[in-house]
Amino acid sequence: MARQAPVRDVAPTVQRLRLRYAKRGRLRFSSHRDFQRAFERALRRAGVPIAFSAGFSPHPKVSYTNAAPTGTASEAEYIEIGVTVACDTERVRAALDEALPPGLDVLDVVVASTSDFAARLEASIWQVEFPGLSLHVVQQALDAFLAESEVLVERLMKQGKRTFDARAAVVWARVEEVDAAAGVAECAILTVVVRHSTPAVRPDDVLAALRLVADLVPPTPPRVTRLAQGPLAPDGQGVGDPLALDRG
């Protein structure tokens, strides 16, 4: 008995679309796998003519890049999809946004007209809010961190515990304070530009490094948001729009 995949007519991909979406509020606790399942359901609900791979178990043509870790919010996650019929980008954006639960919001859709998209995601801007910590305390920790040329941190990965440098990837950082409105506890806000590397240095690695060099232990878990991803700005203080080239 042969175990061959059934022969199917697979509709070809005629257009590739690049999407930016946000993961906000309580939905920041969704994992990347949670998002993948939700997104594939949303494609069906929205009636997007997604292309499928051939074979025994066809899967929709969706590529994900650099997902923000579970528990962190993001304003800048990117996906690329292949469709079998040319689509209107704004209609796709609106339909997918509607089909996803509130908090997973599709912000931008463009037709992919360039290659090497993933390579354009050179760095991320992360924002870390520290409720209960003053600007001064966080600034001191940051200064100590920036003064080092290398800060080795440990993280549990699939392959086991790994030790790597969390310092070199941090290209720029700044601390501000929330305007102390009445009734709001003090809250320092750290903004860091982190270059994408292998292994990826994540915000919790930077937090681990701040604890190592300056004993910074936040009273409550900090709230982390990825603000942007893209090509590193020439001055190293930010990132550009990775979809700019596709917009033409």
Contact status: 247 vs other proteins (CB under 8 A):
no
Quote the least distance from Cβ 153 to other proteins, whole Å: 18
Contact status: 88 vs other proteins (CB under 8 A):
yes
User: Using the 8-state DSSP alphabet, how is residue 71 labeled?
Assistant: T
Tokens standing for residue 143: 């200064």
SS (H, E, C) 136-149: HHHHHHHHHHHHCC
From candidates 51, 73, 81, 95, binder to other proteins by CB under 8 A: 95
222-231: burial string, b at 16+ Cβ within 10 Å, e else: bbbbbbbbbb
From candidates 18, 19, 21, 42, binder to other proteins by CB under 8 A: 42
Which residues on neighbouring strands pair with residue 190, listed in sequence order? 128, 175
In order of 150, 209, 214, the CA distances from 144 in angstroms are 11, 10, 7
Quote the least distance from Cβ 236 to other proteins, whole Å: 30
Residue 93 has a CB neighbour count (10 Å cut-off) of 22
Separation CA 113–CA 4 (nearest Å): 36
From candidates 99, 110, 193, 194, binder to other proteins by CB under 8 A: 99
- The piece of 88-96, 144-152, 194-202, 240-248 that touches other proteins (CB under 8 A) is 88-96
Contact status: 68 vs other proteins (CB under 8 A):
no
Beta strands 187-195 and 123-131 are antiparallel
Contact status: 236 vs other proteins (CB under 8 A):
no
From candidates 16, 18, 22, 30, binder to other proteins by CB under 8 A: 30
Q: Which is nearer to other proteins, 38 or 200 (CB)?
A: 38
From candidates 16, 19, 21, 48, binder to other proteins by CB under 8 A: 48
From candidates 63, 113, 197, 220, binder to other proteins by CB under 8 A: 220
Contact status: 101 vs other proteins (CB under 8 A):
yes
72-87: burial string, b at 16+ Cβ within 10 Å, e else: bbbbbbbbbbbbbeeb
- Contact positions vs other proteins (CB under 8 A): 1, 3, 6, 8, 26-27, 29-31, 33-34, 37-38, 40-49, 52, 56-58, 70-71, 85-89, 91-92, 95, 99, 101-103, 220-221
